[in-house]
Structure 1
């Protein structure tokens, strides 16, 4: 594997709700103190907003420079391993209405629940299971794919926000132009070609 330690640990656990899915893009991030489920993933699991419990959590870092309030939180069973040997634990997720290349993010609370140890150099995670040690292996090519898709998504979100800002400025300028009028700097001089633009709502004084 080229550049050990340079890739995110992306694994494929099974998440159980009304439906059961094996998700291929779940980010393991020991730097996060919450577990995150994205709204698209919630929908795939057959969950609705009314299935969520209220939460007061506010966090930063998912959207650079902005805080984020989840739409609710929910407890779901997460499974690592295969049918012959697996570990299953109930995990609380904060559900966020954000776009992401990942299906979910498992932070320190999930790692502690599973007693799991991630190894970012080898893109592996180990945890105790009912029959002994369980080792889950990531793939650096999938990590690269997620990184590329994440960069494209971030660029598209920035462009969309810049376009919204531009549309807002154009709209404000249009409104301002309707309320403005041109006044000659020297009304007594017919040859004067200099004007100043003022608000049409100003008092005559």
Structure 2
């Protein structure tokens, strides 16, 4: 359960074990990032906010329970604290293996090549072409400004 995530992940191996034919899968238009392709996790699936909303499920992290409405009443899915601890330990070991892997080192090199200019300070802002700065409140002495586009169509 990851209520802070906007991403739902289910591994192909999990789908296979559930007997779900991959022909039933369809692409989504939602972008996702921060996932390293080819690396298996220690979980069967990661369920985030989209899944909870779709199934009207309620996670409770304190009691390690997930509740949702089912056809015959409330479905409760839970685990033990010992199992949660074992998964956490396994996950930490798995993460360490990923961090030291050669494939991740290659990905890091690619990211370094795409890193923005280090001389440019964070928080600096350059106006784009076709935009101008306008005072948010002309009667205020604060001088706060907002950047607006000048080349937008009336639509």
Secondary structure at the counterpart of residue 100 of structure 2: helix
* Partner residue, 2:6: 33
What is the alpha-carbon distance in structure 1 between the residues aligned to residue 18 and residue 49 of structure 2?
23
Secondary structure at the counterpart of residue 96 of structure 2: helix
* Partner residue, 1:113: 54
TM-score, length-normalised on structure 1?
0.43
Structure 2 residue runs of 5 or longer lacking an equivalent are 107-155
Sort the Cα spacing of 1:137 and 1:59 in 2 relative to 1 into closer, same or farther, 3 A: same
What is the alpha-carbon distance in structure 2 between the residues aligned to residue 145 and residue 54 of structure 1?
34
* Partner residue, 1:122: 63
Structure 1 residue runs of 5 or longer lacking an equivalent are 1-27, 64-95, 166-205
- The match for 2:25 among 52, 58, 83 is 52
Deviating beyond 4 angstroms after TM superposition, the runs of 4 or more aligned structure 1 residues are: 46-51, 162-165
Trace 1:9-24 onto structure 2 (pairs within 5 A): none
By how many angstroms is 1:162 displaced? 7.7
* Partner residue, 1:99: 40
How well do the aligned residues superpose, as a CA RMSD in angstroms?
Answer: 3.0
Aligned residues, how many? Answer: 107
Query: Which string of whole-angstrom CA distances, capped at 9 and with x for unpartnered residues, describes residues 110-167 of structure 1?
Result: 21222221111111222233444333322111111111111111111222228966xx
The question of whether the paired residues in 1 share the 8 Å contact of 2:67 and 2:76 is answered with: yes
Larger radius of gyration: 1
The question of whether the paired residues in 1 share the 8 Å contact of 2:98 and 2:104 is answered with: no
TM-score, length-normalised on structure 2?
0.54
Relative contact order: is structure 1 or structure 2 higher (C-alpha 8 Å, sep ≥ 6)?
1
Sort the Cα spacing of 1:48 and 1:34 in 2 relative to 1 into closer, same or farther, 3 A: same
By how many angstroms is 1:44 displaced? 2.8
By how many angstroms is 1:34 displaced? 2.8
By how many angstroms is 1:50 displaced? 5.2
What is the alpha-carbon distance in structure 2 between the residues aligned to residue 97 and residue 163 of structure 1?
10
Name the one with the larger helix percent.
2
Name the one with the larger strand percent.
1
What is the alpha-carbon distance in structure 1 between the residues aligned to residue 61 and residue 88 of structure 2?
15
The question of whether the paired residues in 2 share the 8 Å contact of 1:38 and 1:97 is answered with: no
